[in-house]
Amino acid sequence: MLKVTDVEYMGGYSLVCWFNNGQIKYVDLEQLLKFPMFEELKDIECFKQFGLDGTLFWANGADIAPEYLLENGREWPPTMAAEPAPER
C-alpha cells in the first residue's frame, strides 16, 4: 500500500513528498484549490497546516490520496539537463 512517509513545504502551494516505495516527488497543488473541498486552503496559512498520516490531510477534512501525489508530481530533486558541448 502506497504511503507518504515525509513531506516538506516548498512555498506557495507546493510540497515535496517522500513515499514508502523510495520515490520523491515535487507536487504543486494549486490546481486543486478550485474544488470546494480545497477552497479553504487558498489561505496559504491554512494550506501550510497540513498533517501527515500515510497521506496529506487538513483540519477541514480535505485529504489527497498518495497515488494522486505520486502520479501528479515531478521527480525530485530535478535532474540537470546536460549542457551542450562547447563549439570548436
What tens digit of pLDDT does each residue of 25-40 get? Answer: 999 999 999 999 999 9
What tens digit of pLDDT does each residue of 45-59 get? Answer: 999 999 999 999 999
Determine what percent of the chain is predicted with pLDDT higher than 70.
Answer: 90
Determine what percent of the chain is predicted with pLDDT higher than 90.
Answer: 86
CA gap 69, 55 in Å, rounded: 9
**Structural domains of the chain sorted by starting position, each given as residue range(s) with its CATH number in brackets:** 4-75 (3.30.2020.10)
The alpha carbon of 51 is separated from its chain's Cα centroid by a whole number of angstroms, namely 13
SS3 61: coil
pTM of the model: 0.85
* Nearest CA-CA partner of 25 in 77, 63, 81: 77
Phi, psi dihedrals of residue 42, rounded to the nearest 5°: -60, -30
SS3 41: helix
